[in-house]
Amino acid sequence: MSSVETVNVLIDPPDGQKKPGRVFLERGVFLLAPTRHGPLARTLGAWANGLFAHLPEEIGLYDPFAVTREEARADPGTVRVRYGDVEAMAPVVRPTGFSLHLRVARREDAVRLEFRSNEERRELVTLARAIRDRAREAGRDVGRFDPGGRTRPVSLAE
């Protein structure tokens, strides 16, 4: 099984308002937690990062993905997904980067996660493998699907 426990992602809800956040892999569920920063703090942080060549982020003054596991567990805005509810996944590369789409039982829309780092492909593959492996342990064989658009599938083979 992959040894990932936390991954920084951009959570892409159907309304199109992407938010930075983290995926926390727990026992039985994974948590999709948006950052604790509001829109104004994210705008100012992005402005400062752009103005100072990402120095505020590199030295730890600003973390766009700032949310702890404890905050994620307590936040009502956190999405909790049982591994056994993951029906299919689509790890893909788009013209603008890598993303992971998940079809989850009892949800109309797919869960969409995008990656923003220099290690996008590695993070995508590691997270997708971890979710797939934990879903198998929960008794679910996770299929693949094509999310459409200008995407190409990414292989999860070793």
| Ordered mean pLDDT values, 10 residues apiece, the chain (158 residues) | 75 78 94 82 74 77 83 91 96 92 91 86 94 95 91 86
Q: Which amino acid is at 85?
A: D
Report the predicted TM-score, pTM, of the whole model to 2 decimal places. 0.84
Asked if 11 and 19 count as a contact pair (C-beta separation under 8 A), the reply is yes
Q: Is 26 exposed, middle or buried (0-12, 13-18, 19+ CB in 10 A)?
A: middle
pLDDT of residue 60: 73
Residue 113's SS3 state is strand
- Going by the DSSP 8-state scheme, the letter that residue 83 receives in this structure is G
- C-alpha 100/C-alpha 90 separation (Å) is 6
Neighbours of 108 (CB within 10 A): 6
pLDDT of residue 96: 86
pLDDT of residue 1: 37
